[in-house]
Chain A
Amino acid sequence: MAETAYWEAIQRAHDEEMTNDPLVIAMGEDIGVAGGTYKATAGLYDKYGAERIIDCPISENSYTGIGIGASMIGMRPIIEIMSINFALLALDTLVNAAAKIRYMSGGRVSCPIVMRTPGGTAHQLAAQHSARLARMFMSTSGLRVVTPRGPLDAYGMLKSAVRSNDPVIIIEHERMYNLKEDIPEEEYFRPLEGAEVVRQGEDITLIGYNFSVHLCLEAAKKLEADGVSAEVVDLRSLKPIDRETIRRSVEKTHRVLVAEEDEAPVGVGSEIITGIMEDCFFALDSQPVRIHAADVPVPYNHKLEQAAIPDVDDVYQGALKALGKI
């Protein structure tokens, strides 16, 4: 085991997959000579050269499209979009092309691209650099959407994403790149599908993904001090969603909270709770609780920003509500 930062885990996965398969390339803005905004490709330009670590101009829709075109004939591009906000410029090629080419061709052509991008609020980046948008991609048939919560998954899921034959969107988070965790030194893979119970508990299920898993874990510690045993489920994959793991947990604890950093309408929480209603409505002892961002563009002012996005205390209070303690 070696203590590894999230960005280092991604860098290592790139390096190994590029060594393993000459058809793996990386594309994105500032990823080559500059080493990547989040250092995810640090040192790889020198190792693999400009033909495989491709510095792209500021043309998100078209370089993503170029990656998709190349993937149609066997290349395995890993495309970095500097911020999920800029992925909006690539929506045509992602949603109308990558997600649909397999279907439109009757299964004859596939697009095994990986798109990595950080989504989420960081530190006062304001409205145009704080989007989360997971809900937009998870509502598109033909895509896979995954959200590694830490270095273990960041490495293992990127490697699996490169090898999978489907277009995979990996949503990272600006506030997670320096997060550290011990991960195996030997090569390993983490499957793209399947939620994970990251903390066992009896009294309530806290469901998160991406950064909100950490809010749930922190809130679970606070609840423990109150004598409440909280189970935490990391969704890991937003498309498809592992409803079975959620059902099992809710049938055990009978109470549930979903924490997301995004705004609530038509969001991750709405989808998860609908699934719970359909799968195990009668297992619930209280109404489900959603913790989410305020329905406003993310403000610049620090106090307003903090008020707009959920924190550990919001999750804790929400859990108390679900438990009938407030």
Chain B
Amino acid sequence: MNDSDKIRLLRDMIFYRRFEDRCFEAYVERKIGGFLHLYSGQEAVATGVLEMANVGVGEKGDYVITGYRDHVHALKAGAPAREIMAELYGKETGSSRGRGGSMHIFDPTANFMGGYALVGQPFPLAAGLALGCKHKKTNQIAICFLGDGANNQGTFHETLNMASVWNLPVLFVCENNGYAIGTHIDRSTAQTDQYKRVDTAYNIKSSQHDGMDIDIVMEEAKKAVDYVRNEQKPYFIEFMTYRYRGHSMSDAKGYRTKEEEAEWEKRDPIKILSDRLIKSGALKQADIKKMENEIHDEIENDVIKFAEESPEPDVADLNKYVLDDNPDPRWIGPLK
């Protein structure tokens, strides 16, 4: 990977960080409602893994699915930032036409198959996407991002078993940030190394890596993605990471120490990559400052502006999208 690709990835991550910070601000201004879960700190995982997958190429690409902390996965998969922001604003131009909100970003034109609020629910959906890919022999794979806490759901065990028995091309990416809301993994999970819960139990290859250094993430993700695609088998990859902000906006983080936060922030994914690029001479500090300013302006002048100016859904359309709005009368009737 050459320097200009690395610079592009750095720009991606700075954009994602700013996007999430801007969501925070808009939430405080009450422009965004509901639950809002921000991804800051974990950027290297989604960015690095999806950089190694076939995304951003529309409907021919790999399928991506995740939980409620979904903005960045959708962005990297190729969903337009302005549509995601418009969704958070509840607007008709939003990626889910204002019906979903932060936890339910969907963009089928980018093969981003949704964010889901029920912890553990995406596991089987991902395996189903993989089953569809395998059945249609398209050489696409499904990539499922979920947290460490999700692995204590039954769907984790049920789905890993079936994905293994049926040889489904699905990559499970575990973003282990050490917490499920305010419960530390030591207090909820008997085997804290998640990748160890998979290999002998379900006969699925698995591994654990640093999730803060995007170079490591990419190197390991590439192997995993290639394995899933070439072998047509599942793989489980665990990345050790950290979320900087509270679980959602209502979280005062009383369950962890400032020292712990500071330790992780020393290994900030944006800092690791930018330091490396500066050290190699590919970038100067001033270039990064310039990048930050450009991103700031792009988010204000394009993303936020679009969300602000877009119309809300028409209340007359309340009943749209419940069932097929144009059903074929041959199958649906009514009976005559």
Q: Residues of A at under 8 Å CB distance from B?
A: 23, 25, 51, 54, 56-57, 59, 61-75, 92-93, 96-97, 101-110, 141-142, 144, 160-161, 163-166, 189-196, 236, 242
Contacts and interface: CB of A to CB of B under 8 A. Distances in A.
Interface stretch (B50-58, B264-272, B277-285, B324-332): B324-332
B176 to A, nearest CB: 22
A51 B167 CA distance: 11
Given A72-B132, A75-B132, 13 more contacts: A25-B135, A51-B135, A57-B165, A62-B162, A65-B128, A66-B124, A66-B127, A97-B125, A101-B114, A104-B99, A105-B96, A106-B94, A160-B332
A105 B328 CA distance: 21
B322 A62 contact: no
Contacts of B121: 65, 92-93, 96-97
A92 B118 CA distance: 8
A108 B127 contact: no
A190 B159 CA distance: 35
Interface stretch (B104-112, B183-191, B227-235, B301-309): B104-112
A97 B131 CA distance: 17
B334 A193 contact: yes
A104 B335 contact: no
Contacts of A74: 132, 136
B300 interface: no
Interface residues of B, number: 57
Contacts, number: 191
B323 A166 contact: yes
8 contacts: A57-B161, A62-B124, A65-B127, A74-B132, A75-B135, A102-B324, A104-B104, A193-B334
Contact of B131 (A66, A192, A193): A66
B322 A105 contact: no
Contacts of B131: 66, 69-70, 75
Nearest to A195: B335
Interface string B118-147: 100101111111111101100000100000
A237 to B, nearest CB: 8
Contacts of B320: 107
Contacts of A66: 124-125, 127-128, 131, 159, 162
A105 B113 CA distance: 9
B22 interface: no
B115 to A, nearest CB: 9
B333 interface: yes
Given A68-B124, A106-B95, A195-B335, A61 B155 contact: yes
A180 B110 CA distance: 49
A192 to B, nearest CB: 5
Nearest to A107: B321
Contacts of B11: none
A109 B335 contact: no
B334 A69 contact: no
A14 to B, nearest CB: 16
A66 B155 CA distance: 10
Contact of A73 (B99, B129, B323, B328): B129
Given A101-B114, A164-B327, A59 B161 contact: yes
B116 interface: yes
A195 B335 CA distance: 7
Interface string B158-180: 11011001100000000000000
Given A61-B155, A104-B99, A160 B335 contact: no
B124 A63 contact: yes
Contact of A62 (B123, B142, B327, B334): B123
A242 B332 CA distance: 12
Nearest to A167: B323
A70 B106 contact: no
B242 interface: no
B63 A73 contact: yes
Which 3 A-B residue pairs are closest in the complex by CB-CB distance? A69-B128, A191-B333, A65-B124
Contact of A163 (B130, B325, B331, B334): B331
Contact of A109 (B106, B123, B132): B106
Interface string B6-30: 0000000000000000000000000
B118 A69 contact: no
B154 interface: yes
B108 to A, nearest CB: 5
B78 interface: no
A192 B100 contact: no
B334 A194 contact: yes
A56 B332 contact: no
Contacts of B117: 96
B211 interface: no
A67 B166 CA distance: 13
A65 B97 contact: no
A203 B324 CA distance: 38
B158 A57 contact: yes
B323 A192 contact: no
Contacts of A191: 329-335
B149 interface: no
